Amino acid sequence: MSRVGKAPVTIGKGVKVTITPANEVAVQGAKWTQKVQMRPEVNAKVEGDQIVLTRKDDTKPSRELHGLYRALIQNAMTGVTTGFTKSLDLVGVGYRAAVSGKRLELSLGYSHPIHFPIPEGIEIKVDKQTNITVTGASKELVGQVAAKIRGFRPPEPYLGKGVKYSDEKLRRKEGKSAGK
């Protein structure tokens, strides 16, 4: 049996879980709602204050999906209770960020500013014009938005200028050396 899949998911305080006949698990918290659509090889049921996943047979695809759906439901539970956060730093002279309405405006040394529309379910905060915090209930969407923002100007290896994750360690290259 899957080591990940056999562990039950604990339902947090103030969280409502509904399982539809179409094999969809909906997790609703105070602020956000997450849905996990499952394939028919794996079933979920609520037992007390836990969600237990079982699989129909012992085939390889069923075993693979068992742990996957347990992890997805756990991420949904964590997302609606505490949320997920990614933090980015802008390193470079004149690099700035600002939130105006439903879009993020970035000045990253190009001849034009970059206007990034903030997706539904994501909150972006900017501190001191150089720190961006991306927050949301979906771990996948938070990571995707943070990667997209970082992709506008990834950090370069010589001076480290660009958009980097706050906890990212950059490998710096040595510059040109003087001749012989």
Are the beta carbons of 75 and 100 closer than 8 angstroms? no
Q: Identify the H or E element spanning 127.
A: strand 122-127
Q: What is the pTM of this model?
A: 0.82
pLDDT of residue 179: 63
CATH: 3.50.50.100, 3.40.50.150, 3.90.930.12, 1.10.510.10. Which one for 84-165? 3.90.930.12
Can you name the residues that pair with 88 across neighbouring β-strands? 132, 165
Task: For domain 9-81, give the fold.
Answer: Outer Surface Protein A; domain 3 (3.90.930)
Q: What is the distance of C-alpha 180 from the center of its chain?
A: 50
Query: Looking at residue 164, what DSSP letter applies?
Result: E
pLDDT of residue 142: 92
Are the beta carbons of 140 and 127 closer than 8 angstroms? no
List, for residues 87-108, the tens digit of each pLDDT value.
999 888 888 999 988 999 989 8
Cα(129)–Cα(131) distance, rounded to whole angstroms? Answer: 6
pLDDT of residue 44: 85
Cα(19)–Cα(26) distance, rounded to whole angstroms? Answer: 6
Query: Domain coordinates of the chain in residue numbers?
Result: 9-81, 84-165
**Which segments in the chain show pLDDT lower than 70?**
1-2, 179-180
